[in-house]
Structure 1
Amino acid sequence: MTDTHRKLINDPDRLIEDLIAGMVSAHPRHLTVEGETGRAIVALNGPREGKVGIVVGGGSGHEPAFAGYVGQGLADAAPLGNIFASPSPSQIMDAGFAADGGEGVLFLYGNYTGDVMNFGMAEGNLARHGITARSFVVTDDIASAPLDRKEERRGIAGDFFVFKIAGAAADLGLSLDEVEAAAARANDATRTMGVALSACIMPQTGKANFELPVGEMEIGMGIHGEPGVERGPAGSADEVADRLLAPIIEELELGKGDRVAVLVNGLGSTTLLELYLLHRRTAGTLEGKGVAIHHSWVGEYCTSLDMEGASVTVMKLDEDLTTWLDHPCDTPALRVGASAPKSVSPRRKTRSRTAVSETRRTDIASLKTDGAITPATFREMMRAAAGAIFAERDRLSELDGKIGDGDHGLTMEIGWKAVLSALDKVEDDATISIMCDDIASAFLESVGASAGPLYASAFQSAGRAVADRLNLDAEALVAWVEGMADGIVDRGGASAGDKTMVDAWLPAAEAARRKLGQGGSEMACLAAAAAGARIGADATKDMRSGRGRSKKLGDRSVGHIDPGAESTAVLLAAWAKTVS
């Protein structure tokens, strides 16, 4: 017997490109693709002049979210990231340009670190092109944080209602401020709880993210294949519905005379039979409290690949929310109202993200040449790092499956494949600083997720630290390692003890600095950095996560090494071995 599962995919490296081609070919009346990245799915009858642009987005693997909600009356565009990973800033910008109608663009997405960083960077980039873009994060998941810290909650299936409301408000001609306020009202009125009966299978590896014995279930499930906030015995449909609905009723203070909308959402492999049983109990419970259901949706609207499980989402309605909810829309995954489909209108002329080509000239004669780490050695170090990540891909993903979404190894593999491609194209006489800039761009363009902007910032910072060098001596090498750590801290904001990659990078930089103070050579300082990273990564096993998706697990995060810290140790070990 094998623990891998077959998936109907082609080349794993082209998985998202194939997905996009399939969606567009299946829905030619609704969807097209615009932009240089090929990742922005755009509504044929959505964007128009004088309307606030609506962009929804996130990682792939949640189909029909997010591109399934692109269409007339709802979202104008959706950038698609890799599996469970945020789109990159350039992919988001392509969607922003396509959605822009001159009245501003509103980004809507779930409250995840990678999405917040990447969409935030895209906001700033669009502003430099004269486009006002704002972000709104959905925070409907009750299980992920207590009510007094609701701004920390994840966005899960409640995206469905918040996207619908914002899209309707924009379609009705409201201003950017008003559309954002409508999204906030929907978010405040929406709550979700989920449960999983099995882990999802990553299509690239064919392996489950985590182990869940028969007869148990994960309670408080997210949508990225990560474990829930607690594990308990599996219950009947009625027992599960009661468990999910009780905190929703309490937080929304539902009672006699209230009206709601209900979404019973499957996570990928749950049958409609089971979902209807959950709705039966949900409807009966609400009726017993005098709460009327204005409309229900039952089916798969925001999935987690092929996970077995479901979530219940309730939005408490007022007059405006009801009007916006009932406003017609026509998308691949959701149609509201009986309006006849419009013929495809001519596409507006849109701007594109133009890459600025610049000739990079360096006066090599002015650079410091002492030191054992030459540009050629640096290339070898980077290639060795890529090989080490490729060899450890599955182990890193398995570590991530314990406390996250199980894709860290895959994400790092994607990034380092892009790095190898960038190194193949870089000039023969490129300095270490120039190569760092190219590596940063490779990570930012290819990865998305949180690792993309974090490592982009790391290599940019490290490159600046040695911009006056051709070769790196021991002092410059230590400055480079410290630059990597500083870039990650500055971009992500994590501190020592938060159980992130920072807990390996900071000890690495500190150990390298100590060895330098003892007169250590380049090799000795890099070996010390690798040893410090190893100690730091191992120490994360006993930490309680303070940031990112694993923070939602609380004490359940203790006992597992942080995958980002572990990959840091892998990188530094490869670099140290190359230099030695």
Structure 2
Amino acid sequence: MTEHARTKKLINAPENIIAEMIEGMVGAHPDMLKVEGQTGRAVVAVDGPRDGKVGIVIGGGSGHEPAFAGYVGRGLADAAAVGNVFASPSPAQIADAARAADGGVGVLMLYGNYTGDVLNFTMAAEELAAEGMTVRHVAVADDVASAPLDRKEERRGIAGDFFVFKIAGAAADLGEPLARVEALAQAANDATRSMGVALAACSLPQTGRPNFSIGDEDMEIGMGLHGEPGIRRQKLAPVDEVTDELLDTIVGELSLAKDDRVAVLVNGLGSTTQIELYLVFRRVKERLDALGVEIHASWVGEYATSLEMAGASITLIKLDATLQSLLDHPCRTPALTVGTLTDGAAAGLRSRRTEKAAENRSSTVEAARDLIADGDVTPAIFRAMMQNVGDQIIAEKDWLSELDGVIGDGDHGITMEIGWRAVQSAMQDAPDDETIEGTCKRMAKAFLDAVGASSGPLYATAFLRAGTAVGNRLNLDGGAMADWLTAACQGIRDRGRAEPGDKTMIDAWVPAVVAAQACADKGLPALETLAAARDGAEAGMRSTVAMESRRGRSAKLGARSVGHIDPGAASSFIMLRAMAGALETALG
């Protein structure tokens, strides 16, 4: 495939594919699935949630079908929050799923261990806790290629979701209390190991181009589900050799020996043939038979894909009597049926929180108060600045995705475009007399509702903190502009736990704030303050080239992340450049 060739997909408008997919999925399985909540992204089991049962909520980005909504149904998950392609669902979407799953005795959230998912599910849990719901979490971390065993908590979740979801769903269906369901889910997580290999790239529907490049004769050992680089690239080898390499670490970490019992999942990543998958399973069975390890159950097929990526993963769960019985417990979902369900307890009347939540949602209406009017940045100019940020992000989206394709999953430009288009749309509804703080609240909600990737919670927190920092202002002068930038930066740091040198957006924001504060200390006006912040952000962005990533998905690359601009730092620079440019235009 040439560098500029576009891939072909059977889609309508790329921006509508998730809504249309959900419509098709629910339409195909009306006896199992329905949609609840205002976001339209909570897929709920028709006969799953019920009073007195722990609610099981799963979720993650689209593109991994049948995960995640395919595992919604009686005996497994009660609801799934469906994110955009390769992006976590937003807190609002997750909260919709949790409210639908709530049976009054708590909800367990299960998702892959990715920064965006952790941030968004945590924010949703905070909102739900304020409503009185008890929420627990288990982040699936089964990918042995993504971190060493002594840092297992940093590992990605890949196809191991399949076993963790199944066991947690069975425990909840049997009426176990929340603490017990959480403990069993964690036990399944601890007993599960996976490793994968990629042979060819996938392409995002919005770009129509491969999200990474790989040679025609090469394979990537340890590739992530979003196209994150693995531990090594090498020439394609015979299937038995590849299978042995994937299996060796798994077998070693699980300490498998004679008379142990496991369940096996050989998972296709999207375009790998059944022939190839069964060849992989053949070798897995051959190896386990030689060890005297019993295969209690096995699945071969597509269970956690990566769009049309070519490749496969192997997942083993080491079983004890409890985990085995839960694995065997009946369930019925579009993607997985185990055993035969009895009529039993069907969904009945449940404690509903949706209406109450709608009543409790914060209003953007502001009380009249005296505000400081000094400064060149009026609310109208501020909104023009934010509109220009959206325009510039959209103009640079391909560059941002290209940067992300090298050290991430290739969707940063798409994600930022989605968020800023939502912000631009939301600002069209802003009243003329809305304050800068009110606009910041409006932006935060729009960005968070639209973007489920890590950028959503990070920038929503940034906008809220920044707005609060200038809540006593009508207009912004140089000092207030510096305060706005400082609070935004601190919000990102607090929410994301990143520090300078981690190779993240913080490496652009911190020098921007330092430069802005220096201008404010001199009493310089807002334009000079923003121009200095822009220059500081650019220098910070360029400094990320020499850094080794320590946060986010690219942290798994180690030294391979050196030599590339961090996409988050790049988008941060574009934002500050756009703000300064719009202010300069407004002031003539």
TM bin (shorter chain): over 0.9
Q: Is the 8 A contact 1:56 1:75 kept in 2?
A: yes
Which of 411, 430, 437 is residue 433 of structure 1 equivalent to? 437
Partners of 1:547 and 1:186 in 2: how far apart?
Answer: 26
Q: How does 1:131-146 map to 2 (within 5 A)?
A: 131-146=133-148
2:222 is the counterpart of 1:216:
no
8 Å CA contact 1:29, 1:344 repeated in 2: no
Residue in 1 that maps onto 2:368? 363
What is the aligned-residue RMSD (CA, Å)?
1.5
Change in 2 beyond 3 A, CA 1:170/1:403: same
Query: Aligned with 1:535: secondary structure?
Result: helix
8 Å Cα contact 2:50/2:347 also seen in 1: no
1:268 to 267, 270, 281: 270
Take 1:466 and 1:40, find their aligned partners in 2: how far apart are those partners? 36
1:536 paired with 2:540, answer: yes
Mapped partners of 1:451, 1:357: distance in 2: 22
Q: Is the 8 A contact 2:102 2:350 kept in 1?
A: no
Pair 434,136 (structure 1): closer, same or farther in 2 beyond 3 Å: same
What's 1:248 paired with?
250
1:512 is matched with 516
Give the distance between the partners of 1:490 and 1:344, measured in 2 at CA.
43
Measure, in 2, the Cα distance between the counterparts of 1:260 and 1:119: 30
TM-score by length of 2: 0.96
Contact 2:371 2:472 in 1 (8 A): yes
| CA displacement 1:453-481 (0-9 Å, x = unmatched) | 10001011111111111111111111111
| 1:470 equivalent among 474, 478, 486 | 474
Instruction: Output the CA distance in 2 between the equivalents of 1:102 and 1:521.
Output: 55
Q: Deviation string for 1:355-398 (max 9, x for gaps)? A: 5363623436x211111111111111011110001111111111
SS of the aligned residue for 2:437 comes to helix
Q: Is the 8 A contact 1:230 1:553 kept in 2?
A: no
Distance 2:459 2:76 in 1: 34
From the superposition, tell whether residues 370 and 562 of structure 1 become closer, same or farther in structure 2 (CA, over 3 Å).
same
Matched, 1:545 2:544: no
Question: Aligned partners of 1:343 and 1:323: how far apart in 2?
Answer: 20
- Mapped to 2, the partners of 1:358 and 1:120 lie a distance apart of 22
Shift of residue 348 of structure 1?
A: 4.3
Distance 1:469 1:563 in 2: 33
Going from structure 1 to structure 2, the CA distance change for 1:385 and 1:334 (only over 3 Å counts) comes to same
1:47 corresponds in structure 2 to: 49
1:420 is the counterpart of 2:424: yes
Match of 1:388 in 2: 392
Tell me which amino acid in the other structure corresponds to 1:117: L
Number of the residue aligned with 1:399: 403
Partner of 1:97 in structure 2? 99
1:486-534 superposed Cα distances (whole Å, 9 cap, x missing partner): 1111111100000000000011111111233344322111111111101
In the other structure, the counterpart of 2:183 is: 181
One-letter amino acid of the counterpart of residue 220, structure 1:
G
| 2:309 aligned with 1:307 | yes
Q: Which residue of 2 aligns with 1:279?
A: 281
1:255-282 deviations in Å (ceiling 9; x for gaps): 1111110000011111111100000111
Corresponding residue number in structure 2 for 1:7: 9
Pairwise CA distance, 1:36: 1.1
The residue aligned with 1:75 is 77
The code of the aligned residue for 2:429 comes to K
- Residue 570 (str. 1) matches residue 583 (str. 2): no
Bigger Cα displacement from structure 2, 221-230 vs 469-478: 221-230
Query: Cα gap change, 1:503/1:557 in structure 2, threshold over 3 Å: closer, same or farther?
Result: same
CA distance in 2, matches of 1:287, 1:15: 44
Are 1:458 and 1:486, in contact at CA under 8 Å, matched by a contact in 2? yes
Per the alignment, residue 206 of structure 1 pairs with 208
Taking the aligned partners of 1:343 and 1:253, their CA distance within structure 2 comes to 40
Moved more, 31-40 or 217-226: 217-226
Partner deviation per Cα, 1:532-554 (whole Å, 9 max, x = no partner): 10110111111001111111111
SS in 1 for 2:196: strand
Sort the Cα spacing of 1:341 and 1:537 in 2 relative to 1 into closer, same or farther, 3 A: farther
Distance apart, 1:169 and its partner CA: 0.7
1:446 paired with 2:450, answer yes
Is contact 1:229-1:554 (8 Å) kept?
no
- Residue in 2 aligned with 1:20? 22
Match of 1:158 in 2: 160
Indicate which of 288, 296, 305 corresponds to 1:294. Answer: 296
Is the 2:50–2:346 Cα contact (8 Å) retained in structure 1?
no
C-alpha displacement of 1:351: 2.4
The one-letter amino acid of 1:261's match is A
- Check the 8 A contact 1:437/1:459 in 2, yes or no: yes
Whether the 8 Å CA contact 1:62–1:302 is kept in 2: the answer is yes
Q: Residue 332 of structure 1 aligns with which residue? A: 334
Are 1:194 and 1:311, in contact at CA under 8 Å, matched by a contact in 2? Answer: yes
Question: Identity rate of aligned residues, in percent?
Answer: 60
Structure 2, gaps ≥5 residues long: none
Q: CA deviation at 1:12?
A: 1.8
- Closer/same/farther in 2, CA of residues 290 and 86 from structure 1, 3 Å limit: same
